A and B are shown apart, each in its own frame.
Chain A
Amino acid sequence: DRRDRHRLKNRDGSIRGDKSVMIQAPGEPLLDPESTVVDDRDDNWGETTTVVTGTSVDSISNEDLTRISKDLEDSLPLDCRRYISPVLGAILGLISVITPLAFLALPQLLWRDTLDPCGTPSSYWLFYGVRVLEPQETDYRGIVGYAASLVDALLFIQYLALVLLEVRHLQPAFCLKVVRTADGVSRFYNVGHLSIQRAGVWVLDQYYRDFPVYNPALINLPKSILTKKMSSFKVYNLEEENTNNSTGQSRAMIAAAARRRDNSHNEYYYEEAEVERRIRKRRARLVVAVEEAFTHIKRHQDEETATSSPKHPRELMDPREAAQAIFAPMARAMQKYLRATRQQSYHTMESIINYLQFCITHNMTPKAFLERYLSPGPTLQYLDNNRGCRWTLVSEEPVTAALRQGQVFSLKRLDFALVVKVMPLPFLDLAEEFIDPKSHKFVMKLQSETSV
Chain B
Amino acid sequence: MSFVPGQPVTAVVQRIEIQKLRQGENLILGFSIGGGIDQDPGQNPFSEDKSDKGIYVTRITPGGPAEVAELRMGDKIMQVNGWDMTMVTHDQARKKLTNKKEDVVRLLITRRSLEEAVKQSKGSHPRQ
Question: Residues of A at under 8 Å CB distance from B?
Answer: 443-452
Contact (Cβ within 8 A) B40 A446: yes
Are B39 and A447 in contact (CB-based, < 8 A)? yes
Q: How long is the Cα–Cα vector from A444 to B33 in the complex, in angstroms? A: 19
Contact of B31 among A443, A444, A445, A451 (CB under 8 A): A451
Whether A446 lies near B59 (C-beta < 8 A) is no
Q: Which residue of A lies closest to B93 (CB)?
A: A450
Using C-beta atoms within 8 Å of the partner chain, give the interface range for chain B: 10 to 19
Interface residue from A447, A449, A452 paired with B97 (Cβ < 8 Å): A452
Residues of chain B within 8 A of A452, CB atoms compared:
28-29, 31-33, 94, 97-98
Interface residues of B in 1-54 (CB under 8 A from A): 28-29, 31-34, 36, 38-40, 43
| Given A446-B38, A451-B31, 7 further pairs, Cβ under 8 A | A446-B39, A446-B40, A447-B39, A449-B33, A449-B58, A450-B34, A452-B31
B106 within 8 A of A: no
Contacts A452-B33, A452-B94, A452-B97; is A445 near B40 (CB within 8 Å)?
yes
Does chain A have a CB within 8 A of B72?
A: no
CA distance A134 to B90 in the complex (A): 109
Binding site for A on B (CB under 8 A): 28-29, 31-34, 36, 38-40, 43, 58-59, 61, 90, 94, 97-98
Residue of A nearest to B40 (CB): A445
When C-beta atoms are compared, the residue in chain B nearest to A443 turns out to be B40
Q: How far is the CA of A445 from the CA of B43 in the complex (A)?
A: 9
Which residue of A444, A447, A449, A450 has the most chain B CB atoms within 10 A of its CB atom? A450
CB contacts (< 8 Å) of A450 on chain B: these are: 32-34, 90, 94
Set of chain B residues within 8 Å of A445, measured between Cβ atoms = 40, 43
Closest chain B residue, CB of each to CB of A445: B40
| List of A residues within 8 angstroms of B31 by Cβ | 451-452
Can you spell out 13 A-B residue pairs with CB atoms less than 8 angstroms apart?
A446-B90, A448-B39, A448-B90, A449-B32, A449-B34, A450-B33, A450-B90, A451-B28, A451-B31, A451-B59, A452-B29, A452-B97, A452-B98
